[in-house]
Amino acid sequence: MKNTDFHHALKILKDVCTGCTHCMNICPTEAIRVKDGKAELISNRCVDCGFCFRVCPVNAIIVEQDDFNRIFEYKVRVALVPAVLTGQFPENVSTRQIHSELMELGFTHICEVEQGVEVLHEAMMEYIDKHSDTKPLISSFCPAIVRLIQVRFPALVDNLIHLKPPLDIAAMYVSRQLEDEGHDRDDTGIFYVTPCASKIAAVKSPVGEKNSPITGVINMDFIFNKVYTRIKQGGGISCRLPEVRQVSERSVLWSLTNGESAQAQGRCLAVDEIHNVINFLEQLENEEMKDIDFLELRACDESCAGGVLTTENRFFTVERLKKRAALAGRENNPDQPVTCKGIIHYKHRLKQEIGLEPVQPRSMLKLDEDMSEAMKKMKRVQEISKCLPDVDCGACGSPTCQAFAEDIVQGYSRLNQCVFVQRIFEKKGILTAEESFEIMKGVWGGDKMDRNC
């Protein structure tokens, strides 16, 4: 695949940003810097995990979505909804009620993402058996994790399972079904209701495939507010009653922590929350952990239930989905789960099309494309690091002293932006206090530096 830039759903509103550094300090890939008193995103480091969005105290970071009215550009309008959406609502609100209100909003068809799980599960078991020599195999379910491995753990890209997630499989299925029913593909729009920013990025700039089968993306908090407002105002079920097709117990739980690992064979582990994942992968990369067959890694705490675009407490969401799964388990034979009848007819065809191309490494640690030049820069980083205090105060506008040293070598920063170095330079007469002050204005902006106390 062509190595194009990542699309990012996360956007920083410079006119709102106060340069507080909350986002810079929480970012797991050190993708944010502060310059002239405003946060700036380093595109090739960001994995769209959304932690910056979550901690920003002034709402200066937003998650871009497609305009909802875009759905009306299509005659056939499909809402592709994950089970996590149903977990946002009180238990007295049924899945049918949620789906019917979505149709009242303008969608003509509703398809649950989890319909694709059974097809994926069968293909994944075959893939794991075929690639048993590769350990550990890593799920490609979470797009933030796929990007994290690309940029921070590039040596592990070959461990990723090259299969599309249920989201893409469900979109492929509903597209083919509607086409077989006589609908023109150009008249069909498939819109995914997403619980996180990384899935928006995955749709707009997919990894391992040239194009996404999904037309557009709508944020879950936006849809939840629209649907729940209608339910509270209407007080009953809409007159439009869509068919709600049962998904299996396994499918309902797939997007939650342990949803995948519970279904795989051998020694399988599930790790959620991206900082936990990073700590785990660092140990794995250092060969401190061995004999692991399968890894389920998720960027959010409690996986998709903890997505940054969800509205409900993640633990309540998990509880509701487990109750729904238990109900599905009682209604179905757990050994032969009844999935959507329609997708069974497409299973063979879908299994032939759900493979991903090899994922390419995009290391954020690469200082230069030329190896000899990269080695020189690395040596320079080490020399600069010896001059820094190693306190990671962030006053220079970089999150850590190590990141600051790399920024200097790459030409993004200057050594005299470090307040500790400034004091040394002032003592030696290299800088005046006034010059130091002007340097810090370049980092933190004149508004902060010129305030009267």
DSSP three-state, residue 425: helix
For residue 71, pLDDT over 50 is answered with yes
Q: Which amino acid is at 383?
A: E
First-to-final CA distance of the chain: 55
How high is the pLDDT of residue 211? 86
Output Rg (C-alpha) for the chain, integer angstroms.
24
For residue 338, pLDDT over 50 is answered with no
DSSP three-state, residue 33: strand
What is the distance between the alpha carbons of residues 415 and 385, in angstroms, rounded to a whole number?
A: 10
**pLDDT range class, residue 122, cuts 50, 70, 90:** very high
Average pLDDT, rounded, for the chain:
90
What is the distance between the alpha carbons of residues 416 and 321, in angstroms, rounded to a whole number?
A: 54
How high is the pLDDT of residue 236? 54
**Counting runs of H as helices and runs of E as strands, what totals does the chain give?**
19, 11
Domain ranges of the chain: 10-63, 68-119+162-256+304-353, 371-449
DSSP three-state, residue 222: helix
**pLDDT range class, residue 73, cuts 50, 70, 90:** very high
Structure tokens at 445: 């902006």
CA torsion through residues 158, 163, 165, 171, sign: positive
CATH architecture of 10-63: 2-Layer Sandwich (3.30)
> Which fold, 68-119+162-256+304-353?
Rossmann fold (3.40.50)
Q: How far is CA 292 from CA 55, 276, 309, in A?
A: 34, 17, 32
Q: How far is CA 250 from CA 244, 256, 326, in A?
A: 17, 10, 10
- Separation of CA 79 from chain center: 20
DSSP sequence for 50-73: -HHHHH-TT--EEE----GGGGGG
Q: For the segment 230-285, what is each residue's pLDDT rounded down to a tens digit?
A: 998 875 555 565 565 678 899 999 999 999 999 998 999 999 999 999 999 999 98
Please, how many CA atoms are within 13 Å of residue 145, restricted to the half-sphere of its CB? 31
Closest residue by Cα to residue 346 from 181, 142, 161: 181
What percent of the chain is predicted at pLDDT more than 70?
Answer: 93
How high is the pLDDT of residue 246? 73
What is the distance between the alpha carbons of residues 423 and 389, in angstroms, rounded to a whole number?
A: 12
Residue given tokens 């979470």 in the structure block: 142
Q: Do domains 10-63 and 68-119+162-256+304-353 have the same CATH topology?
A: no
Q: For the segment 77-105, what is each residue's pLDDT rounded down to a tens digit?
A: 999 999 999 999 999 998 889 999 999 99
Structure tokens at 107: 């969608």
Q: How far is CA 262 from CA 71, 125, 253, 254, 319, in A?
A: 37, 12, 10, 9, 17
Beta bridge partners of 336: 333
For residue 332, pLDDT over 60 is answered with no
Lowest mean pLDDT of 231-235, 339-343, 447-451, name the range: 339-343
DSSP three-state, residue 355: strand
| Segment 360-365 mean pLDDT | 83
DSSP sequence for 274-326: HHHHHHHHHHHHTT-S----EEEEESSTTGGGG-TT--S-HHHHHHHHHHHHH
**pLDDT range class, residue 425, cuts 50, 70, 90:** very high
Closest residue by Cα to residue 202 from 47, 67, 63, 351: 47
DSSP three-state, residue 239: coil
Between 238 and 189, residue with greater pLDDT: 189
Say if residues 118 and 248 touch (Cβ distance below 8 Å): yes
